[in-house]
Amino acid sequence: MEPAEKIFETRELNVNMGPQHPATHGVLRLVLDIDGETIVNVTPHVGYLHRGIEKLGESLSYFQGLPLTDRMDYVSAMSNNIGYCVAVEKLYGIEAPERAKFIRTIVGEVSRISNHLLWLATHALDIGAMTVFLYCFREREWLLDLFEMISGARLTVTYPRIGGVRNDVSQEFLDSLWKFTDEFPSRILEYETLIDQNRIWLLRTKGIGVISAEEAVSWGMTGPTLRGSGVSYDIRKHMPYDAYDKVEFEVPIGTEGDTYDRYRCRMLEMRQSNNIIRQLIEKLPPGPVMAEDPKFTMPPKDKMYPITHPEKDLAYFILEKACKGCGMCLRACPAKAITGEKKAPHKINQALCVNCASCLVTCKFKSVTVVAGGKGLSEEKLAELAVAPDQLPEDIKQAQQYLTRQFEFVKKGPKVPEGEIYVATEVPKGELGFYFVSDGSAKPSRMRVRAPSFIHAGCLPRLCEGHLIADVISVIGTIDIVLGECDR
């Protein structure tokens, strides 16, 4: 008798998984060619979340480009921010103060733990362990609350700055984080009791998506995905940035290169991160949290307070003689306190003025001045007390200079030396690299992001070879991709 294949026409079934599918973590689309339940071929399609972040970065100054990085890997936005800041700092040639470096390392590791928690949650949920999902979210919530405490945002934090961090951390934050690190190891044990030695979990993860060390390197894998194959490559250890050279930690590596080893690597990494945070909190040095560089950093806000603090006893006044009525200040005033016809002297309505100093910085004819102790005085009295801007007291003049610098900084950004730079940092998902080409202007001429998720998504066909449909799910989980970063 003839074999069945010759009697019946058989062909592979073509199944479209995604872009809307519960297990593809966002908008990954996989086209599966399946023979029964066995995978013949997997074709990943990316780009459904493309927002042109690299191109957007080229139209913004380096300082303005920072919030874009939050939107790449929204699961661990803090790490992306740090990667961007470290890269731009190197380009500028400045260095963050010691305390800022420590704080950045702390929040970077917090971000790593929160990312790995989300990875474990979704990975376990995909394989069917639903309880782990909710346990992980319980801890992640704590970490997101900590982020909210320091930056006001839970996901898109934009907390690190080029040259430091936005604000110092409070004692309350450190106490809460310390308490977290006390409890977290026992929580990891809790997840592990559910899955680590579970026979079903072992059956589902051991020997799935195996990739050898050489192959993993040549596919460009990085991070825990690579370390699972037994390659000890961790930028934090081998090219330390921030405060990683001041802490002791191990780089956990696997042996088999399968899903289970990658899972173990990440679990051990969470413990190491916990350790790093504890060491850093203990060693946290005092000092400023923002570098002070006359060119590349924004001047500290308190330096401008002599003229911008809304509670200060001062008043802004337009000198009638000097005012040409150009209308620049009128347009710049955010409180709409300035009135006046074109080519006629303008007036400031003192009741509406918020002491923002916009008019002071905008005026080209030095007609706007500050009257110290002029709060609540009448128009005539102010005219009597007002002096020309160059005769103002020294502290006000200095504040005015700082203010002008800030205006320049925000509106145009500092000019950057010509050249190109590639700086990589270890984010939870792997190596996140920023490549900048500078043409000497304030904006990058080319910004390129090496996103680990994109490269790992490319490995999917290799990892899924010869497995079953159910294994595709565990493989997607094990490479830990976020499509926001993959598509950018």
Partner 1 sequence: MNIADIITPAQVDALIQFGITLVIIIAKIVVVLAIGLLHVAYATWFERKVIGHMQVRLGPMRVGYHGLLQPFADGIKLFFKEDIIPAKADKAMFYLAPVIFMAASMVNLSVIPYSRNFVIADINIGLLFIFAFAGIGVYGIFISGWASNSKYAFLGGLRSSAQVISYEIAMGLSLVGVMMMAGSLKISDIVKAQEASVFGMYAIPQFVAFIVFSISALAETNRTPFDMPEAESELVAGYFTEYSSFRFALFFLGEYIAMIIMASIASVCFLGGWTLPWYITNYVPFINYVPGFVWFLMKVYAFIFFYYWIRATVPRYRYDQLMKIGWKILIPVALANIVVTGLIKIIITTLKGA
- Binding residues vs partner 1 (CB under 8 A): 13-16, 21-23, 37, 124-131, 133-135, 138, 194-195, 198, 200-201, 203-204, 468-473
Q: Which is nearer to partner 1, 131 or 441 (CB)?
A: 131
Q: At residue 78, what is the residue type?
A: M
Q: Which is nearer to partner 1, 125 or 442 (CB)?
A: 125
Closest contact distance (angstroms) between CB of 54 and partner 1 is 32
d(CA 265, CA 272): 10
Pair 37, 471: CB distance under 8 Å: no
Closest contact distance (angstroms) between CB of 212 and partner 1 is 23
Closest contact distance (angstroms) between CB of 127 and partner 1 is 4
Pair 2, 430: CB distance under 8 Å: no
Name the β-bridge partners of 430. Answer: 427
Q: Which is nearer to partner 1, 202 or 352 (CB)?
A: 202
The label of the residue with tokens 């929160």 reads 114
Closest contact distance (angstroms) between CB of 451 and partner 1 is 24
Closest contact distance (angstroms) between CB of 6 and partner 1 is 23
The label of the residue with tokens 């996901």 reads 155
d(CA 50, CA 484): 8
The label of the residue with tokens 């929204």 reads 74
d(CA 149, CA 147): 5
- For the chain, the maximum distance between any two Cα atoms, rounded to a whole number of angstroms, is 115
Q: Which is nearer to partner 1, 180 or 241 (CB)?
A: 180
Q: Which is nearer to partner 1, 29 or 101 (CB)?
A: 29
DSSP state letter for 125: H
Closest contact distance (angstroms) between CB of 87 and partner 1 is 36
Closest contact distance (angstroms) between CB of 133 and partner 1 is 8
Closest contact distance (angstroms) between CB of 126 and partner 1 is 4
Q: Which is nearer to partner 1, 137 or 454 (CB)?
A: 137
Q: What is the DSSP string of 395-412?
A: HHHHHHHHHHHHHHHHHT
Residue 380 CB-density burial (10 A; 0-12 exposed, 13-18 middle, 19+ buried): exposed
Q: Which is nearer to partner 1, 34 or 361 (CB)?
A: 34
Pair 48, 430: CB distance under 8 Å: no
Q: Which is nearer to partner 1, 85 or 473 (CB)?
A: 473
| Angle between the N-to-C axes of helices 130-151 and 98-127, in degrees from 0 to 180, rounded to the nearest 10 | 160
Closest contact distance (angstroms) between CB of 197 and partner 1 is 12
C-alpha to C-alpha distances, 93 to 63, 194, 201, nearest whole angstrom:
15, 49, 49
Residues 6+ apart with CB under 8 A from 18: 24, 27, 28, 29, 30, 45
Q: Which is nearer to partner 1, 204 or 443 (CB)?
A: 204
Closest contact distance (angstroms) between CB of 198 and partner 1 is 6
Q: Which is nearer to partner 1, 18 or 452 (CB)?
A: 18
CA atoms within 13 A on the CB side of 323: 24
Closest contact distance (angstroms) between CB of 201 and partner 1 is 5
d(CA 459, CA 450): 15
The label of the residue with tokens 């005026």 reads 363
Residue 230 CB-density burial (10 A; 0-12 exposed, 13-18 middle, 19+ buried): middle
3-state secondary structure of 94: coil
Q: Which is nearer to partner 1, 371 or 472 (CB)?
A: 472
Pair 185, 117: CB distance under 8 Å: no
Q: Which is nearer to partner 1, 196 or 215 (CB)?
A: 196
Closest contact distance (angstroms) between CB of 141 and partner 1 is 11
Closest contact distance (angstroms) between CB of 125 and partner 1 is 7
d(CA 78, CA 93): 22
Q: Which is nearer to partner 1, 130 or 239 (CB)?
A: 130
d(CA 266, CA 117): 9
Q: At residue 279, what is the residue type?
A: Q
Name the β-bridge partners of 397. Answer: none
Residues 6+ apart with CB under 8 A from 420: 435, 436, 437, 438
3-state secondary structure of 16: strand
